């Protein structure tokens, strides 16, 4: 008798029957296969979910409205007090870049904003006009025009 059997007999426990080596190997092999299957299937699901979500973000980002740049008729061009003639938003952007503050303040007061009115009624861009009404300096008005021009095609 082995030492294990002697100890277990003294304590009064029953001895479990020995397992054959082939059964133990089979159970271990089955467990390993099952674990590998679970590990392989989990990343595939995560990849599939990620692949489904990615196009949705791209679609929502592409919903920008692209507009054609409107050029005013010669009789509807904007004439600044320093003599510049503006035909479209590009000309307005360049004018704001070099405009003296006195010229800007002549057209923009608390009661009126000639630039915003012209953009809204002649160039038909209400969003840009609303943003221009909040501008108090030529530099901030230029920033509004630059941001707005990103939505236009040339």
The residue from 31, 48, 63 where one domain ends is 63
Domain range for 119: 67-153
Task: Report how far apart, in Å, the C-alpha atoms of 71 and of each of 13, 37, 81, 112, 146 are.
Answer: 100, 65, 20, 23, 16
Task: Report how far apart, in Å, the C-alpha atoms of 99 and of each of 49, 61, 82 are.
Answer: 53, 35, 9
Would residue 146 count as lying in a domain? yes
Is residue 76 domain-shared with residue 149, that is, in the same domain? yes
pLDDT in tens, 102-140: 999 999 999 999 999 999 999 999 999 999 999 999 999
Is residue 87 domain-shared with residue 111, that is, in the same domain? yes
Q: What is the pLDDT of residue 66?
A: 84
Residue that the structure tokens 């409205």 belong to: 65
Would residue 11 count as lying in a domain? no
Domain tally, the chain: 2
Is residue 77 domain-shared with residue 47, that is, in the same domain? no
- Write the burial class of residue 59 (CB in 10 Å: 0-12 exposed, 13-18 middle, 19+ buried): exposed
Residues 6+ apart with CB under 8 A from 95: 80, 84, 86
Would residue 3 count as lying in a domain? no
pTM over 0.95: no
Is residue 101 domain-shared with residue 130, that is, in the same domain? yes
Is residue 88 domain-shared with residue 147, that is, in the same domain? yes
Would residue 4 count as lying in a domain? no
Would residue 57 count as lying in a domain? yes
Is residue 117 domain-shared with residue 47, that is, in the same domain? no
H or E element that contains 135? none
Is residue 87 domain-shared with residue 127, that is, in the same domain? yes
Q: What is the pLDDT of residue 149?
A: 94
Is residue 141 domain-shared with residue 76, that is, in the same domain? yes
The residue from 13, 32, 63 where one domain ends is 63
pLDDT in tens, 33-87: 555 555 555 555 554 444 444 444 333 445 567 888 999 999 999 999 999 999 9
Would residue 8 count as lying in a domain? no
């Amino acid at each position: 008798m082995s030492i294990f059997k002697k100890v277990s007999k003294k304590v009064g426990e029953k001895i479990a029957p020995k397992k054959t080596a082939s059964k133990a190997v089979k159970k271990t092999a089955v467990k390993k296969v099952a674990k590998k299957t679970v590990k392989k299937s989990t990343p595939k699901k995560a990849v599939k979910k990620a692949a489904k979500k990615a196009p949705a973000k791209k679609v929502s980002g592409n919903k920008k409205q692209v507009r054609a740049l409107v050029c005013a008729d010669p009789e509807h061009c904007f004439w600044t007090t320093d003599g510049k003639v503006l035909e479209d938003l590009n000309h307005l952007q360049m004018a704001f870049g070099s405009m003296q503050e006195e010229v800007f303040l002549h057209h923009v007061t608390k009661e009126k904003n000639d630039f915003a009115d012209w953009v809204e009624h002649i160039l038909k861009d209400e969003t840009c006009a609303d943003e221009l009404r909040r501008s108090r300096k030529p530099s901030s008005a230029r920033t509004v025009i630059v941001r707005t021009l990103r939505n236009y095609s040339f």
